[in-house]
Amino acid sequence: MKKVFYAIAISASIFTGCSSNDDEPIVKAPVEGEISGDITSNKTFAYGNYTLKGMVKIAAGVTVTIEKGSTITADKRDGEDGLVVLKNGTLIANGTADEPIVLTEQSKVAGSWAGIIMYGDAPMIGTGGVISADSEDGLKLPYGGANENHSSGSLKFVRVEYAGLVITSNQKEHNGFSFYAVGAGTVLENLVSYKGNDDGFEFYGGTVSGKNLISYGNSDDAFDWQDSWKGQNNTNWFAYQTGKANYGMEVEAKGNNNAFWPKVTNITLKRAAGTTTEAPSGEVQLDAIQFKSNGNGDFSNIVIDGYVNQTTPTSVTGGAVQVLDLNTYTNQVVGGKIKLTNVKISGTPTLFISGAGTFTLSAASFPGTNWGVSTTATGAALTSGKWATVDGVNLLANL
């Protein structure tokens, strides 16, 4: 195993702002350092500014803590960078609204590094019903376990910027946050994925839930999952798609007709005027929510806005809800496993898109009360602060 190298230029024990007046606060100076190699023993990174070098891996049985207010900066010029929590490793990165933990990249160019990758020990179900698969992040590590309540740690008020490194399409791809079979004991709260080159958040199976998530300006899907992910306590998801983007939410289950589904409440999906799809040909990728491969879910209090037809560079029809294939339509829509209730839609002329052309998706396709439009839905409820501000821009201004 590689050793972890810490080049600490300023001791964490140095303080500034001291005064003879005991009532004045003592301000702790940030340390300066480097994070690299495999981390094989427990480590706390004090509040500071760190350089991330390489695919840093937190080993099984090891707990790494990053103190609030810290900034970790990758540099694409030194090769592939990322922060990886291996199965049974633990990452504790708890910032605050005013002192978030920020992981960014020096050039501020989308797709410059691998983001945060976390492996857990919760179940997944892949193609053909397999309960284990190899990751698509280039590490090709097996994921999938049996512990639904497994914990990989806690991420609170963490922002990942300019990630989504894609080295070989469909062979080695990264997102802002990648969660492989992560369990429900893991805490994911107040997270931002900002201007990445792939998905903002992707769940590969598992049972973990995310609260107060912002996907802003990511060029593929804002939220994406597969491998029969079934998080049950998700709330306050906000996607703002601008520049180049595909789906607000891409929902699929690798063809498995599961008896369970994830649940998400309070969702806002917005697409800025002039935003174009990443893939203008082939599969249409311009919808607020797309279901395929038996993807399903229970979604409520949803605001959808701005999913208009695209005219340039290629003509593409956009809509609120797309179902791509007949199996998903039959098993999940007609079968009652897709619920979309209290949905407020504006700036989106087409409500339904039938991807396969062998069925017609409509409000009547949903049994009982599984589809319901509203004029009073409020969507995500999030509070502004430094955690949701980048270069002086309030990411919630369009919420």
Q: Is the pLDDT of residue 280 over 60?
A: no
What one-character DSSP code corresponds to residue 387? G
> pLDDT of 17-40, one tens digit each?
444 455 666 678 999 999 999 999
Binning pLDDT at 50, 70 and 90, where does residue 283 land? Answer: low
Q: Is the pLDDT of residue 281 over 80?
A: no
| Helical residues (DSSP H) of the chain, grouped into ranges | 326-328
Binning pLDDT at 50, 70 and 90, where does residue 16 land? Answer: very low
Residues 6+ away with beta carbon under 8 Å from 21: none
As beta bridge partners, residue 394 has 389
Binning pLDDT at 50, 70 and 90, where does residue 148 land? Answer: very high
Percent of all residues in the chain with a pLDDT value above 70, rounded to a whole number = 91
Q: Is the pLDDT of residue 303 over 50?
A: yes
State the SS3 of 65-113. Answer: EECCCCEEEECHHHCCCEEEECCCCEEEEECCCCCCEEEEECCCCCCCC
Q: Is the pLDDT of residue 6 over 50?
A: no
The one-letter code for the residue type at 4 is V
DSSP 263-310: EEEEEEEEE-TT-B-S--SSS---EEEEEETT--EEEEEEEEE--PPB
**In 3-state terms, what secondary structure has residue 234?**
strand
Rounded to an integer, what distance in angstroms lies between the CA atom of residue 367 and that of residue 344?
19
> pLDDT of 123-145, one tens digit each?
999 999 999 999 999 999 999 99
Rounded to an integer, what distance in angstroms lies between the CA atom of residue 329 and that of residue 28?
57
> pLDDT of 358-396, one tens digit each?
899 999 999 999 999 999 999 999 999 999 999 999 999
> pLDDT of 27-76, one tens digit each?
789 999 999 999 999 999 999 999 999 999 999 999 999 999 999 999 99
Q: 337-351 in b/e burial notation, b at 16+ Cβ within 10 A?
A: bbbbbbbbbeebebb
Instruction: Give the β-pairing of 187-194 and 153-161.
Output: parallel
Does the bond joining 30 to the residue before it have cis omega, within 30 degrees of 0?
Answer: no
Rounded to an integer, what distance in angstroms lies between the CA atom of residue 269 and that of residue 265?
12
Binning pLDDT at 50, 70 and 90, where does residue 5 land? Answer: very low
Span 156-173, mean pLDDT?
85
> pLDDT of 98-131, one tens digit each?
999 999 999 999 999 999 999 999 999 999 999 9
CA atoms within 13 A on the CB side of 180: 25
| Sole residue written with tokens 């990630």 | 163
Whole-number pLDDT of residue 315: 83
Q: Is the pLDDT of residue 11 over 60?
A: no
CA atoms within 13 A on the CB side of 319: 16
CA dihedral sign, ordered 360, 363, 366, 370? positive
In 3D, which of 324, 222, 321, 313 has the Cα closest to residue 283? 324
Q: Among 308-312, 340-344, 370-374, which stretch is predicted with the lowest mean pLDDT?
A: 308-312
Whole-number pLDDT of residue 12: 41
> pLDDT of 312-338, one tens digit each?
887 888 899 999 999 999 999 999 999
Rounded to an integer, what distance in angstroms lies between the CA atom of residue 8 and that of residue 50?
9
Span 264-278, mean pLDDT?
95
> pLDDT of 216-244, one tens digit each?
999 999 999 999 999 999 999 999 999 99
Whole-number pLDDT of residue 278: 77
> ∠ at Cα 377 (371, 381), nearest 5°?
125
Query: How many other CB atoms are found less than 10 A from the CB of residue 257?
Result: 14
